[in-house]
Amino acid sequence: FDSIAIMTSGGDAPGMNPAIRGVVRAALSEGIKVYGIQRGYSGLIADDMSTLQSGSVSNIVQRGGTVLKTDRCIAFKDPAVRAAAAEILRRRGIGALVVIGGDGSLTGAHLLEEETGIPVIGIPGTIDNDIFGTEDTIGFDTAVNTALEAIDRIRDTATSHERHFLVEVMGRASGAIAINVGLAAGAEMILVPERAIDVAAISSELAASRRAGTGSSGIIVVAEGPTPGLTARLAEQLREQGQDPRVCILGHIQRGGSPSGHDRVLATCMGAMAIRYLCAGYSDIMVGVRDGSIIDVPLDDVIRFRKGLDPSLLDMALQVHR
Ligand code: ATP
């Protein structure tokens, strides 16, 4: 390829910047020109892009968010819009597209390739770690550590006031953040979308540990789940059962912040490997991790299959409070 384009799409994740840097530096070293597309698919269909030099990605490796900006672009779900997007890329002589984002963004990339023949490479950038075919996603480690720091602080208050706190972390469909944060924080309970919530059982467990003198305070980590307001509703139901938990919703603080060392290394390697795969003629794949090594995963599989939680981790997490 003479030229490629790169974008970030969907929710921002810490580590997107080192991934952009990895792609740009690897491409330039191969003599490939790189266009940076602004605001994901919205910028692509508006032809909002400019060339990136080596210096364009200096001093971003440590910054959260994404310097290319990101967006959700409903219009890109329309095949006619994707055809127009391919035309824009072709007119500029851009031979391939690298997309950094979550499963929605990777779905868009796969469809673009399938329908228009534009080669695409996906990089999993999402704090949720919910993408099939890869053990890790860019931003997950940072988000877990950010939530953990917050929970350690909340525990000080919970202990001092002898209270239980319901702490809501991100994860609409996946309990990956909740389980990792819960285990690391020594949470008394972890509630995830993969398991039904039994309010009566939680209430009696809290009451029993209080009676036993072992549980006057504690942290219950709750993944936000698919419907907004879950944690507030749960607190209300627990109050009706005689408990008095406090609620803390961590929200967007989990998405920002300087990427951890782990995420910087992961993102840099994934970015560089995306270019290596492109140069080797691969397309319609995502760069993933298996057994600690970088691998290629067909995008078709990525969007067709759902990633489940590691069953042993899930069992361990659900047992910690017993
Ligand atoms: P995260 O879940 O981490 O926020 P994501 O990439 O899954 O990231 P989405 O909002 O699902 O976030 O998708 C981002 C963008 O990808 C959408 O706004 C849209 O432009 C594109 N996209 C998502 N789903 C599709 C689809 N089925 N077809 C085409 N494009 C899609």
| DSSP secondary structure string for all residues of 193-250 | TTS---HHHHHHHHHHHHHTTS-SSEEEEEE--SSTTHHHHHHHHHHHTT---EEEE-
Q: Residues lining ligand 1, judged by CB closer than 6 Å?
A: 9-11, 41, 72-73, 76-77, 101-105, 107-108, 111, 126, 128
Residue 64's pLDDT is 98
319: exposed, middle or buried (C-beta count within 10 Å: 0-12, 13-18, 19+)? exposed
Of ligand 1's listed atoms, the one at least distance from the Cα of 126 is 3
The distance in angstroms from the start CA to the end CA of the chain is: 57
ipTM rounded to 2 decimals: 0.98
pLDDT at residue number 294: 97
Tokens of 301: 């599989």
In a 10 Å sphere around its CB, with 0-12 CB exposed, 13-18 middle and 19+ buried, how is residue 216 labelled? middle
- Name the binding residues for ATP: 11, 72-73, 102-105
Q: Given this model, what pLDDT does residue 197 score?
A: 87
Count other Cβ atoms within 10 Å, centred on residue 149.
12
Annotated binding site for substrate: 126-128, 163, 170-172, 224, 246, 252-255
As a whole number of angstroms, the distance between CA 315 and CA 311 comes to 6
- The pLDDT of residue 213 is 72
Tell me the average pLDDT across 59-82: 98
Rg of the chain on CA atoms, in Å: 22
User: Smallest Cα–Cα separation from 215: which of 187, 190, 238, 195?
Assistant: 187
- Side chain identity, residue 178: A
Write out pLDDT tens, residues 154-175: 999 999 998 999 999 999 999 9
- Indicate the pLDDT class of residue 203, thresholds 50, 70 and 90: confident
pLDDT band at residue 51 using 50, 70 and 90 as cut-offs: very high
Least confident interval from 168-172, 210-214, 262-266: 210-214
CB atoms within 10 A of CB 210: 16
Q: What is the mean pLDDT of the chain?
A: 94
CA–CA dist 54, 177 (Å, integer)? 34
| Residue 322: per-residue pLDDT | 43
Q: What confidence category does residue 235 fall into, taking pLDDT thresholds of 50, 70 and 90?
A: very high
139/192 Cα distance (integer angstroms): 20
- 128 is a catalytic site residue: yes
Please, which residues bridge with residue 35 across strands?
5, 51
Q: Which residue has the least CA distance to atom 4 on ligand 1? A: 11
| The pLDDT value given to residue 321 | 47
Predicted pLDDT at 319: 65
C-alpha dihedral over 178, 184, 188, 191, to 10 degrees? 10
